[in-house]
Amino acid sequence: MKNCFKEGPITSDFIGQSIAHHQVKTNIGAHQIFLGQVRMDEIEGKKVVAIDYSAHEEMANKAFHEIRESAFDKFDLTCMHIYHSKGIVKAGEICLFVFVSSAHRKAAQEAIEYLVEEIKAKAPIFGKEILEDESYVWKENK
Amino acid sequence: MKIKVVYFGLIVDAIKIESEQIDRGEFSTNLNTFFEARHTELKKINYKIAVDGEFSNEISETTQEIALFPPFAGG
Protein backbone atom coordinates (compact mmCIF):
# COMPACT_ATOMS: atom_id res chain seq x y z
CA MET A 1 0.00 0.00 0.00
CA LYS A 2 1.23 3.48 -0.86
CA ASN A 3 2.75 5.49 1.99
CA CYS A 4 1.03 8.89 2.01
CA PHE A 5 3.04 10.28 4.94
CA LYS A 6 5.88 12.76 4.63
CA GLU A 7 8.20 13.61 7.50
CA GLY A 8 7.70 17.26 8.50
CA PRO A 9 6.02 19.95 6.40
CA ILE A 10 5.02 19.52 2.75
CA THR A 11 7.15 22.03 0.88
CA SER A 12 6.10 24.37 -1.92
CA ASP A 13 8.90 22.76 -4.00
CA PHE A 14 7.28 19.35 -3.62
CA ILE A 15 3.86 20.77 -4.52
CA GLY A 16 5.34 22.58 -7.56
CA GLN A 17 7.08 19.39 -8.71
CA SER A 18 3.82 17.45 -8.39
CA ILE A 19 2.07 19.94 -10.64
CA ALA A 20 4.93 19.81 -13.16
CA HIS A 21 4.72 16.00 -13.33
CA HIS A 22 1.21 16.31 -14.74
CA GLN A 23 2.22 18.31 -17.81
CA VAL A 24 2.71 15.07 -19.74
CA LYS A 25 -0.85 13.94 -18.96
CA THR A 26 -2.49 15.96 -21.70
CA ASN A 27 -5.97 14.45 -21.23
CA ILE A 28 -6.25 16.53 -18.04
CA GLY A 29 -8.13 19.81 -18.30
CA ALA A 30 -8.53 20.74 -14.61
CA HIS A 31 -6.57 20.38 -11.40
CA GLN A 32 -7.93 21.05 -7.96
CA ILE A 33 -5.59 21.36 -4.97
CA PHE A 34 -6.32 21.54 -1.26
CA LEU A 35 -3.57 22.62 1.11
CA GLY A 36 -4.04 22.33 4.85
CA GLN A 37 -1.90 24.82 6.77
CA VAL A 38 -1.13 24.82 10.49
CA ARG A 39 -3.00 27.76 11.96
CA MET A 40 -1.57 29.82 14.80
CA ASP A 41 -4.64 29.46 17.02
CA GLU A 42 -4.63 30.96 20.46
CA ILE A 43 -5.52 28.56 23.28
CA GLU A 44 -6.05 30.07 26.71
CA GLY A 45 -3.92 33.06 25.73
CA LYS A 46 -1.07 30.97 24.31
CA LYS A 47 -0.21 30.77 20.62
CA VAL A 48 0.00 27.44 18.77
CA VAL A 49 3.53 27.36 17.31
CA ALA A 50 3.44 23.89 15.74
CA ILE A 51 1.51 20.63 15.50
CA ASP A 52 3.25 17.32 16.15
CA TYR A 53 1.39 14.74 14.02
CA SER A 54 1.31 11.05 14.84
CA ALA A 55 -0.76 8.27 13.31
CA HIS A 56 -1.48 4.60 13.10
CA GLU A 57 0.30 4.75 9.77
CA GLU A 58 -0.74 1.38 8.44
CA MET A 59 -4.43 2.07 9.11
CA ALA A 60 -4.20 5.66 7.92
CA ASN A 61 -2.60 4.54 4.65
CA LYS A 62 -5.36 1.95 4.30
CA ALA A 63 -7.96 4.68 4.94
CA PHE A 64 -6.32 6.91 2.31
CA HIS A 65 -6.37 4.00 -0.12
CA GLU A 66 -10.09 3.33 0.49
CA ILE A 67 -10.94 7.04 0.25
CA ARG A 68 -9.05 7.22 -3.07
CA GLU A 69 -10.89 4.17 -4.43
CA SER A 70 -14.27 5.57 -3.43
CA ALA A 71 -13.46 8.96 -5.00
CA PHE A 72 -12.48 7.25 -8.28
CA ASP A 73 -15.85 5.44 -8.17
CA LYS A 74 -17.86 8.59 -7.46
CA PHE A 75 -16.15 11.11 -9.74
CA ASP A 76 -14.70 11.02 -13.23
CA LEU A 77 -11.06 11.62 -12.25
CA THR A 78 -7.81 11.17 -14.12
CA CYS A 79 -5.54 11.05 -11.09
CA MET A 80 -5.38 11.77 -7.41
CA HIS A 81 -2.67 12.24 -4.79
CA ILE A 82 -2.87 12.57 -1.02
CA TYR A 83 0.06 13.53 1.23
CA HIS A 84 -0.08 14.13 4.97
CA SER A 85 2.68 15.23 7.31
CA LYS A 86 3.94 13.33 10.30
CA GLY A 87 6.10 14.82 13.01
CA ILE A 88 6.50 18.54 13.60
CA VAL A 89 4.85 21.09 11.29
CA LYS A 90 5.22 24.73 12.34
CA ALA A 91 2.44 27.33 12.15
CA GLY A 92 2.22 28.59 8.58
CA GLU A 93 3.57 25.36 7.07
CA ILE A 94 1.59 22.86 5.02
CA CYS A 95 0.47 19.58 6.62
CA LEU A 96 -2.00 18.22 4.02
CA PHE A 97 -1.76 18.23 0.23
CA VAL A 98 -4.64 16.78 -1.79
CA PHE A 99 -4.37 16.97 -5.57
CA VAL A 100 -7.02 15.76 -8.01
CA SER A 101 -7.13 16.05 -11.78
CA SER A 102 -9.88 15.48 -14.31
CA ALA A 103 -10.74 16.22 -17.93
CA HIS A 104 -13.29 18.88 -16.91
CA ARG A 105 -13.45 21.11 -13.83
CA LYS A 106 -16.67 19.89 -12.23
CA ALA A 107 -15.42 16.41 -11.27
CA ALA A 108 -12.22 17.78 -9.70
CA GLN A 109 -14.11 20.48 -7.79
CA GLU A 110 -16.60 18.03 -6.32
CA ALA A 111 -13.96 15.39 -5.57
CA ILE A 112 -11.65 17.69 -3.61
CA GLU A 113 -14.34 18.62 -1.10
CA TYR A 114 -15.34 14.97 -0.66
CA LEU A 115 -11.71 13.90 -0.20
CA VAL A 116 -10.80 16.47 2.43
CA GLU A 117 -13.91 15.70 4.51
CA GLU A 118 -13.27 11.95 4.28
CA ILE A 119 -9.61 12.32 5.26
CA LYS A 120 -10.49 14.39 8.32
CA ALA A 121 -13.19 11.93 9.41
CA LYS A 122 -11.58 8.56 8.64
CA ALA A 123 -7.78 8.67 8.90
CA PRO A 124 -6.43 7.81 12.38
CA ILE A 125 -4.12 10.80 12.64
CA PHE A 126 -3.53 12.71 15.87
CA GLY A 127 -2.21 16.22 16.39
CA LYS A 128 -0.48 17.61 19.43
CA GLU A 129 -0.75 21.41 19.32
CA ILE A 130 2.50 22.74 20.75
CA LEU A 131 2.04 26.09 22.50
CA GLU A 132 4.56 28.90 22.81
CA ASP A 133 5.44 27.96 26.41
CA GLU A 134 6.12 24.34 25.28
CA SER A 135 2.95 23.00 26.90
CA TYR A 136 0.50 21.26 24.54
CA VAL A 137 -3.11 20.34 23.89
CA TRP A 138 -4.52 17.58 21.68
CA LYS A 139 -6.28 18.80 18.56
CA GLU A 140 -9.69 17.39 17.63
CA ASN A 141 -11.36 17.70 14.22
CA LYS A 142 -14.70 19.47 14.36
CA MET B 1 -1.03 -16.26 23.04
CA LYS B 2 -0.88 -12.54 23.60
CA ILE B 3 -2.52 -9.73 21.67
CA LYS B 4 -0.68 -6.45 21.20
CA VAL B 5 -2.66 -3.39 22.26
CA VAL B 6 -1.52 0.04 21.08
CA TYR B 7 -2.76 3.40 22.34
CA PHE B 8 -2.58 6.78 20.65
CA GLY B 9 -2.57 10.50 21.37
CA LEU B 10 -4.33 11.72 24.48
CA ILE B 11 -5.11 8.14 25.54
CA VAL B 12 -1.37 7.61 26.11
CA ASP B 13 -1.30 10.73 28.30
CA ALA B 14 -4.33 9.54 30.26
CA ILE B 15 -3.31 5.94 30.93
CA LYS B 16 0.51 6.47 30.86
CA ILE B 17 1.34 3.59 28.53
CA GLU B 18 1.79 3.38 24.75
CA SER B 19 1.29 -0.35 24.30
CA GLU B 20 0.93 -3.59 26.17
CA GLN B 21 0.60 -7.33 25.55
CA ILE B 22 -2.53 -8.95 26.93
CA ASP B 23 -3.32 -12.68 27.07
CA ARG B 24 -6.08 -13.62 24.65
CA GLY B 25 -7.94 -15.37 27.49
CA GLU B 26 -8.19 -12.21 29.57
CA PHE B 27 -10.47 -10.37 27.14
CA SER B 28 -14.19 -10.21 27.79
CA THR B 29 -16.66 -10.31 24.91
CA ASN B 30 -17.20 -6.57 24.79
CA LEU B 31 -13.95 -4.70 24.26
CA ASN B 32 -15.30 -1.35 25.52
CA THR B 33 -16.28 -2.94 28.82
CA PHE B 34 -12.93 -4.72 29.06
CA PHE B 35 -10.78 -1.65 28.39
CA GLU B 36 -12.84 0.70 30.57
CA ALA B 37 -12.45 -1.72 33.48
CA ARG B 38 -8.70 -2.08 32.81
CA HIS B 39 -8.09 1.66 32.32
CA THR B 40 -10.87 3.60 34.07
CA GLU B 41 -9.58 6.88 32.58
CA LEU B 42 -11.08 5.70 29.26
CA LYS B 43 -14.61 6.28 30.59
CA LYS B 44 -13.99 10.01 30.20
CA ILE B 45 -12.56 9.78 26.67
CA ASN B 46 -14.37 9.59 23.34
CA TYR B 47 -12.38 6.71 21.83
CA LYS B 48 -12.64 4.16 19.02
CA ILE B 49 -11.36 0.59 18.90
CA ALA B 50 -9.79 -1.01 15.84
CA VAL B 51 -9.14 -4.75 15.70
CA ASP B 52 -6.52 -5.66 13.10
CA GLY B 53 -7.24 -2.48 11.18
CA GLU B 54 -11.04 -2.64 11.27
CA PHE B 55 -13.30 -0.79 13.69
CA SER B 56 -14.78 -3.44 15.93
CA ASN B 57 -15.89 -4.24 19.43
CA GLU B 58 -14.74 -7.85 19.68
CA ILE B 59 -11.73 -10.00 18.96
CA SER B 60 -11.58 -13.12 16.81
CA GLU B 61 -9.38 -16.22 17.00
CA THR B 62 -6.87 -14.63 14.65
CA THR B 63 -6.65 -11.15 16.21
CA GLN B 64 -3.09 -9.86 16.51
CA GLU B 65 -3.44 -6.16 17.24
CA ILE B 66 -5.97 -3.90 18.91
CA ALA B 67 -5.64 -0.11 18.61
CA LEU B 68 -7.42 2.51 20.71
CA PHE B 69 -7.83 5.91 19.06
CA PRO B 70 -8.84 9.27 20.52
CA PRO B 71 -10.66 11.75 18.21
CA PHE B 72 -8.91 12.20 14.86
CA ALA B 73 -7.10 15.42 13.99
CA GLY B 74 -5.73 14.93 10.48
CA GLY B 75 -5.74 17.63 7.84
Helix (H) or strand (E) holding A70: helix A57-74
- Radius of gyration (C-alpha) of chain A in whole angstroms: 16
A86 touches chain B (CB under 8 A): no
pLDDT given for residue A1 in this prediction? 84
A84 touches chain B (CB under 8 A): yes
Which residues lie closer than 8 Å to A109 by C-beta, 6 or more apart? A30, A32
CB contacts of A58 in chain B (<8 Å) are 53
Q: Which domain holds residue B26?
A: 2-69
A48 touches chain B (CB under 8 A): no
pLDDT given for residue A127 in this prediction? 97
A84 with B74: Cβ contact below 8 A? yes
Residues of chain B with pLDDT under 50: none
**Residue B9: which of A60, A120, A126 has the nearest Cβ?**
A126
Q: How many CA atoms lie within 13 A of A20 on its CB side?
A: 6
ipTM of the prediction: 0.93
CATH number at residue B47: 3.10.20.30
A54 with B70: Cβ contact below 8 A? no
pLDDT given for residue B16 in this prediction? 97
Total of domains in chain B: 1
Assigned domain for B25 exists: yes
Assigned domain for B74 exists: no
Residues of chain A with pLDDT under 70: none
A141 with B72: Cβ contact below 8 A? yes
CATH class of A10-137: alpha beta
Return the domain boundaries, chain A.
10-137
A96 with B74: Cβ contact below 8 A? yes
Assigned domain for B58 exists: yes
| Chain A nearest C-alpha distance from B11 (Å) | 10
Q: What is the pLDDT of residues B47-58, one digit of tens each?
A: 999 999 999 999
